[in-house]
Amino acid sequence: MKKNVAVISLGCDKNRVDTEKMLYSLNKAGYNLVSDYSSAQIIIVNTCAFIESARSEAIDTILAAAQYKKDKLEKLIVTGCLPKKYSAELKDGLPEVDMFLGTENYYALPEIIENLYGDSSNYVPTCDKFDCSDRFLSTPTHYAFLKISDGCDNHCTFCTIPSIRGKYVSRSEESLIEEAKMLEQSGVKELILVAQDVTRYGIDLYGEYRLVPLLRKLSALDFEWIRLMYCYPELVTEELICEIDNNAKIAKYIDIPMQHADDSILKLMNRRGNSGDLAKLLKRISECKNHIAVRTTFMVGFPGEKQENFDNLYNFLSEYKIDNVGIFAYSDEEDTPSFRLKNRVNAETKAKRVEKLGELYKNIRIEKNKALVGKTLKVLYESIDFDRNMFVGRTQYNAPEIDTAVYFTGEFADVGTFYDVKITGYDEYDLIGETVENIGD
Ligand code: SF4
């Protein structure tokens, strides 16, 4: 009898896709996938190690899972970025864990588990190559992430990812189209392209950047929205901007993590391009015939960030009024170049700068929401907020899980269906409205 397996997925959407590939191979091998940890004989924790807080969350989750060894739990397996980077330390520090695996060979998990039980395995992995497409969706059925590559070649001085995930490796176009077809057939309406750097796609495999040709092939499939996350500013080309503007299947949205907008800090971060280049890019995007919503992330408190550097970032945001903004405080990561930089910014100052930039972004969001009152927007219905007794959805200008939402009323709504919603108001970051018409799924 195959055992009960529970899988806990931590970290980013790329890790989530890896987890979905694990779920597929476990299910294919006949394991019972359970969400009740107390009934699991095997628990797998797929971890993140990006920053200190992610590592603590991973350790806490592993220790919490280990508690189930008092119940039915027989094997505790830890995978992902944490063991990939710290396997030696973990082996000493976490005797509760039976097996540590890195960020590869998820398709061999059934075999690895059988070996762990000392059984000789006749399990043949369904796939062993990097760009296999079989996976079990863990997102709501109307959207899914498509991980187009792994690793990163940008080497920002604050980032541990290149030392964990290694060099940039693109998946083949064929395997991506095969996977996208599988997602299309399973009813996915919104395909979200993710990687450490989506814009670098193809250069390692085909010797040229191939994101636009890939987008055109994906657009031939029956998706409503194809969304681009993690685009590196310098690689957002004129061709890509035009493709987003003119291709009806591509969501009028682009995520461009800029990290900062002060030239000297961008230099210390080893970011290519300066504030002038970022301004030029935002100006070019604002000239498109369609409104293209930009998302970005800014990091404050980087070593050496003086008040005037922060003011430059503040003024940049206040001038370019970016649609969706994530704001983070710098986190000191041991074996990164920025760890050796002087002129640290203390925690209190970091917190004040996060708050100040956050306040600015909130006011920008309120101004943008005010301008949308009276407009009718196409909204993808996702869930119900029972406290507000309202339906919740998103427009093409908002990515799932990280951006703002639309709360609306109406006769009835079907999850994963698109509705025309008339905007009647807003509540700080989020919009409020009422359905005008069901425009189908
Ligand atoms: S582009 Fe992103 S993943 Fe790559 S090094 Fe920079 S921050 Fe890290």
What's residue 284's pLDDT?
98
Q: What share of the chain is helix, strand, coil (3-state, %, to 5)?
A: 40, 20, 40
**Residue 321 and residue 399 in one domain:** no
Full DSSP string of 316-344:
HHHHH--SEEEEEE----TTSGGGG-SSP
- Is pLDDT above 90 for 416? yes
The pair of structure tokens assigned to 115 is 């070996």
Alpha carbon of 69 to ligand 1 centroid (Å): 37
State pLDDT tens for residues 350-363: 999 999 999 999 99
Average pLDDT over residues 168-189: 96
Number of domains, the chain: 3
Q: Coil, helix or strand for 356?
A: helix
Max CA separation in the chain (angstroms):
66
Q: Which of 124-138, 182-196, 398-412 has the lowest mean pLDDT?
A: 124-138
Say whether both 219 and 358 belong to one domain: yes
Listed as own residue / partner, the contacts of 210-214 with beta carbons closer than 8 Å and 24 or more positions apart are: 210/170, 210/173, 211/240, 212/239, 212/240, 212/243, 213/173, 214/148, 214/173, 214/176
Helix (H) or strand (E) holding 405: none
Q: In this predicted model, which residue has the larger pLDDT, 126 or 309?
A: 309
pLDDT of 226 above 70: yes
Residue (of 170, 172, 151) closest to 162 by Cα position:
151
Same domain, 344 and 424: no
Token pair belonging to 57: 């969350």
Position in ligand 1 atom list of the atom nearest CA 257? 2
| Contact partners, residue 423, CB within 8 Å, separation at least 6 | 372, 373, 374, 375, 376, 377, 406, 431, 432, 433
Please report the pLDDT score of residue 125 as a whole number: 60
pLDDT at 212 over 80: yes
Q: What pLDDT score was predicted for residue 56?
A: 96
Q: Are residues 155 and 261 in the same domain?
A: yes
- H or E element at residue 12: none
Least confident piece of the model among 124-133, 188-197, 232-241, 371-380: 124-133
Q: Which two tokens stand for residue 438?
A: 């069901």
Let me know if 162 is exposed, middle or buried by CB neighbors in 10 A (0-12, 13-18, 19+): middle
What would the pLDDT profile of 246-300 be if each residue is shown by its tens digit? 999 999 999 999 999 999 999 999 999 999 999 999 999 999 999 999 999 999 9
Q: Are strands 250-255 and 225-228 parallel, antiparallel or unpaired?
A: parallel
In percent, how much of the chain has pLDDT > 90? Answer: 87
Atom 8, ligand 1: residue with shortest CA distance:
159
Handedness of CA 16, 130, 200, 332 (dihedral sign): positive
| Choice between 44 and 118, residue whose per-residue pLDDT is larger | 44
pLDDT score, position 17: 94
What per-residue confidence (pLDDT) applies to 106?
A: 79
pLDDT at 105: 75
| Ligand 1 pocket, mutate which of 155, 156, 164, 331 (most atoms under 8 A from CB) | 156
The verdict on 325 and 383 lying in the same domain is no
Task: Judge whether residue 123 has pLDDT over 70.
Answer: no
Q: What is the CATH number of the domain that holds 165?
A: 3.80.30.20
Model confidence at 326: pLDDT above 70: yes
Report the relative pairing of strands 376-385 and 418-427 from DSSP bridges.
antiparallel
Instruction: Give the pLDDT of residue 1.
Output: 61
Centre of ligand 1 to C-alpha 52, Å, is: 16
Amino acid identity of residue 117, one-letter, is Y
Same domain, 253 and 154: yes
Residues composing the chain? 441
**pLDDT for the residue numbered 143:** 97
Mean pLDDT of 385-414: 93
Which pLDDT value is given to residue 115?
87
pLDDT at 321: 98
Q: How far is the CA of 334 from the centre of ligand 1 (A)?
A: 16
Residues lining ligand 1, CB < 6 A? Answer: 152, 154-156, 159, 161-162, 196-197, 232
pLDDT of amino acid 414: 82
pLDDT at 213 over 70: yes
Question: 211 CA distance to ligand 1 centroid (A)?
Answer: 18
> Is 288 found in the same domain as 196?
yes
Residues 427 and 290 in one domain: no
Lowest pLDDT segment from 35-49, 128-142, 212-226: 128-142
The string of pLDDT tens digits covering residues 423-436 is 999 999 999 999 98
Query: Does 122 map to a domain?
Result: no
Q: Based on the domain organization, do 23 and 67 belong to the same domain?
A: yes
Distance CA 441, CA 438 (A): 9
What pTM was computed for the model?
A: 0.95
State the CATH number of the domain containing residue 428.
2.40.50.140
Lowest mean pLDDT: which of 181-195, 322-336, 406-420?
406-420
Here the tokens at position 172 are 């083949």
Out of 197, 255, 299, mutate this one to test ligand 1's pocket (max ligand atoms within 8 Å of CB): namely 197
The residues pairing with 193 across neighbouring beta strands, listed in sequence order, are: 146, 228
Return mean pLDDT, the chain: 94
Q: How far is the CA of 14 from the centre of ligand 1 (A)?
A: 13
Asked if pLDDT for residue 11 goes beyond 60, the answer is yes
How far does residue 212's CA lie from ligand 1's centre (Å)? 21
Q: How far is CA 150 from the centre of its chain?
A: 13
Among 149, 159, 296, residue to substitute to test ligand 1 (most atoms within 8 Å of Cβ)? 159
Whether residues 383 and 365 share a domain: the answer is no
- Give the integer Cα–Cα distance in Å for 144 and 192: 6
The pLDDT, as a whole number, for residue 441 is 53
In this structure, are residues 341 and 304 in contact, taking their beta carbons and an 8 Å threshold? yes
Q: Are residues 362 and 255 in the same domain?
A: yes
Report the pLDDT value the prediction gives residue 157, as an integer from 0 to 100: 98
Domain that holds residue 110: 4-116
* Nearest-CA residue for atom 1 of ligand 1: 154
Query: Atom 2 in ligand 1: which residue has the minimum CA distance?
Result: 196
Kindly tell me if the per-residue pLDDT of 127 is higher than 80.
no
- pLDDT band of 439, cuts 50, 70, 90: low
Other CB atoms within 10 Å distance of the CB of residue 246: 11
- Are 245 and 289 members of one domain? yes
* Residue 129 domain-assigned (yes or no): no
